[in-house]
Amino acid sequence: MIGSFGDIIFSVSRQTAKTLKDLTRAEGGRYATHDIHLKKPKPEFLGPGLSKLSFKMDFDANLGVNPRKETDNLVRLQRDGHYSLFILGGRRIGMGYFTLQSVSVDYKTIDNLGNVLSATADVTLEEYV
């Protein structure tokens, strides 16, 4: 197993391949800006911001997965407000839980019966505290 987010397992076996690529982690701080008459404004550090993760997932029927089922599951998790740990290499990334903020699906290949044969999903997670 490569990793997981809730019931989504990133893995490769002889039968299936369900992996992620282009994983990006973004961190930032929260600042307030105080305006000062005739001087430059002064920033005040308020604390850390929420961590964000983004990645792509490729689904291909030739690699043993059902692209439509997998992308529908991602959309369901986003709509339900699902949150979970994000595990990579047996260790969690970030300080705690993440929620699935957005999913964008590109249906790459569709056959003459309307079956989705391959798709790519762009996934964005945000820290959930």
> Position 89: which residue type?
G
The residue whose two tokens read 């019966």 is 113
| Percentage of the residues of the chain whose pLDDT score is greater than 90 | 95
Distance CA 67, CA 1 (A): 19
Distance CA 125, CA 3 (A): 15
**Closest to 53 in 3D by CA, of 119, 3, 105, 98:** 98
Q: How confident is the model at residue 15 (pLDDT cuts 50, 70, 90)?
A: confident
Q: What is the per-residue pLDDT for 86?
A: 97
Distance CA 10, CA 18 (A): 5
Give the chain's domain count.
Answer: 1
The whole-number average pLDDT for the span 96-118 is 97
Q: Domain of 46: which CATH number?
A: 2.40.30
| Percentage of the residues of the chain whose pLDDT score is greater than 70 | 100
Decide if 99 contacts 126 (C-beta within 8 A). yes
Joined together, the tokens standing for residue 35 give 């305006």
Distance CA 111, CA 118 (A): 10
For residue range 34-84, list pLDDT tens digits in order. 999 999 999 999 999 999 999 999 999 999 999 999 999 999 999 999 999
Joined together, the tokens standing for residue 34 give 């105080």
Domain span holding position 103: 3-128
